[in-house]
Amino acid sequence: MRFSNRSIKALSSKDTKYRVWDKGGLTGLYLMVMPTGTKTFRYFYRLNGLSQDIKIGRYPTLSIDEARSIAKGYAAQIANRISPIEEKNKAAQQAKLDENALLGEYLNNQYAPWVRATKKSAHETLRMLNVDFKHLHKRRLKEVTKQDAITWIINATSGTGYKRPLNKSTINRRIAALKGLFTHAVSEGHITSSPLSGIKNQRVDNHAKERILSAEEHGALFGVITTRDRIIRDERQRTNEWRAARNMEPLPSFKLINNYIFPLITLMLYTGIRRNEAFSLEWNDIDFQGKMLTVRGDIAKSGQTRRIPLAMETLNLLEMWKDEHKSENPLVFPSPSTGKKLTTIKTAWNNIIKDASKECPSIADLNLHALRHTFATNLMSKGVHVMVLQSLLGHQDIKTTQRYVHVQDTDREQAIRAISAIDY
């Protein structure tokens, strides 16, 4: 069965223990249900011709997502021919030696390497742990308490220590990052239980209207982007005229696209791909002849490969970007300074929004993820079935897709007019 809190709670004990496999998660993850009613996550795998089984932790002390995350880490070890059981035993022995390790030491020496090897969101996860919970770094793992987390939640909610109060979704994500560290410490035998066990997520209004790009904001956004491109082209032309007058070699001239921002923003808006998925795209992921974009499983948040058809305008823009910036770099949008994968475009984005807000003040609070919301909402308003949208967005659970889209106000008005017209 697919693991969910409802399905697991519905499992009843029998005279003998039995297994229930997670059909919706990672292969090998299962739940052992004992005659006493105890339910324990375990992971089954084969390595070097031997079948092995390793305990992950008890439900509900360990959540389903936490169990899947640990199982995914074990799968990564197996892929590298490393035995999770042997590694766990080594860690347990080491834990006896450094049971007084500080949280910061554990984060840097043990948890960070594991996160980088197993999580696509490693950069953001480690940033949160190093910034939001830096005050806990000099505390021993076993000395951190639930009250520490509760105090942080209270402060974050009021904005204490931040420029402004954090919203509930942000608080949930950052507490989840801290929970992940302690869950790992428990699984590796460093501590017997997580101090954050029992802390529930802040209740979030999933029906709140998501931030999307209006027609006016669309015009302001792309107006600034194209203007910035034109200014850079004109500056390069003037520079080359100056160099030519002095018999100097000209610099490469720009035709239409001289900056990655234009094609990157366009691609995100018209395919709905996530920021990190866009940053990780390679030219081999784009089938120009088949007009198809492939989001590989190793860069997708869900871990599942998906394919997204490309509109002709988007395809032409990408072809133009490729032709004007010929390079051996496999990345579609490499960092201009390092040539490596982008990690952020915060500065460029903030500058664009600042300029666009002069013409359109409402755009001032627009964030990059709103492009994905806009893609989803526009398709839904055109009558695209929610299951098709789920496939395009790469959501494993259709409830997530339903959270990203919202019923248009005009639809509600039409519904009320329809019910008013009924003659009782």
- Active-site annotation, residues: 274, 301, 369, 372, 395, 404
Which of 269, 369, 283, 385 minimizes the C-alpha distance to 325?
A: 283
Q: Where are the beta strands (DSSP E) in 4-89?
A: 18-21, 29-33, 39-47, 50-59
Q: Which residues contact 422 (CB under 8 A, 6 or more apart)?
A: none
**Amino acid found at 183:** T
Give residue for tokens 């999307």.
Answer: 212
CA dist 20 and 30 (Å) reads 5
Kindly write down the DSSP assignment for every residue of 268-335, as one continuous string. HHHH---HHHHHH-BGGGEETTTTEEEE-TTTSTTS--EEEE--HHHHHHHHHHHHHT--S--BSSB-
Q: How far is CA 84 from CA 56, 81, 149, 205, 308, in A?
A: 11, 9, 30, 39, 36
Q: Which residues contact 307 (CB under 8 A, 6 or more apart)?
A: 292, 293, 294, 295
CA angle 96, 81, 129 (to 5 degrees): 50
**Amino acid found at 242:** W
Contact by Cβ (8 Å): 102, 110: no
Q: How far is CA 98 from CA 93, 113, 140, 372, 413, in A?
A: 9, 18, 10, 45, 64
**Amino acid found at 408:** Q
**Amino acid found at 382:** K
Give residue for tokens 């942000």.
Answer: 170
Neighbours of 215 (CB within 10 A): 7
3-state secondary structure 281-298: CEHHHEECCCCEEEECCC
CA dist 175 and 144 (Å) reads 14
